[in-house]
A and B are shown apart, each in its own frame.
Chain A
């Protein structure tokens, strides 16, 4: 069966520090991978998605970046965090089309910027 892992579960970082969040998926080949941010009262906002190794699409301009070095690995990074980067970050995977298949989410990382 397929599993998705995200870590860490919670993270407290100072403004201006770097960030690296990792997401891995097991049990499926060539999944579509997604990074979302969920802020209070704002719903799920798609940040990046990837349809294959090295292929990244950005949905929202920001100081975050994403990379997919392996088929099963998706990384969210920042060189300098802003206060506005606080939120609940979720990774998800799907197979097939981008919007016509169920997405399966990890349990997220709660990021607090001080």
Chain B
């Protein structure tokens, strides 16, 4: 069955540094990969979508890479701020509904 692993349950990083979150998957060949942000008690908010034929996508301080050979996506937040503290979810999809990872809880420490 499909399996999605996000590198760790929690990640602590100092303000100003680059946060890097990992999403690995097995038994799946998704055409699309998405990243979401979720704050406590709220629904996830869409951040970025990347297609299998795209290597990298950027949006402001966010960057996503998608390596279909390694079956891995990296999500980077540059110049991280305490306001970036949240849980980040990766999700894989194509013609079938999205499958979500369990998320990584990021804490940016001032």
Name A residues whose Cβ lies closer than 8 Å to a Cβ of B: 34, 41-44, 46, 49, 59, 90, 92, 97-108, 110
- Give the nearest-CB partner of A100 in chain B: B32
A98 touches B96 (CB 8 A): yes
Asked whether B21 is an interface residue with its Cβ less than 8 Å from the other chain, the reply is no
- Are A98 and B43 in touch, CB under 8 angstroms? no
> Judging by beta carbons under 8 Å apart, are A100 and B95 in contact?
yes
Q: Which residue of A lies closest to B31 (CB)?
A: A100
Contact call B32/A43, Cβ cutoff below 8 A: no
CB <8 Å contact, A92 and B43:
yes
Interface of B is mostly: loop
Summed over the interface, the residue pairs from A and B with CB atoms below 8 Å come to a total of: 64
Residues of chain B within 8 A of A110, CB atoms compared: 41
Which range holds the interface residue count of chain B?
20 to 34
Interface residues in chain B, defined as those with a beta carbon under 8 Å from any beta carbon in chain A? 30-32, 34, 41-46, 49, 89, 91-103
A100 to B34, CA, bound (A): 9
CB-defined contacts of B99 to chain A, threshold 8 Å: 46
- A90 to B91 alpha-carbon distance, docked (Å): 15
21 A–B pairs (Cβ distance < 8 Å), ordered by A: A42-B102, A43-B101, A43-B103, A46-B98, A49-B97, A59-B97, A92-B43, A98-B95, A98-B98, A99-B30, A99-B31, A99-B93, A99-B94, A100-B31, A100-B49, A102-B49, A103-B34, A103-B44, A105-B43, A107-B41, A110-B41
The residues of B that contact A46 with a CB separation of less than 8 Å are 97-99
Q: Does A99 contact B42, Cβ atoms closer than 8 Å? A: no
Contact A102 B46 (CB under 8 A): yes
Give the residue among A90, A99, A101, A105 with the most B Cβ atoms within 10 A.
A99
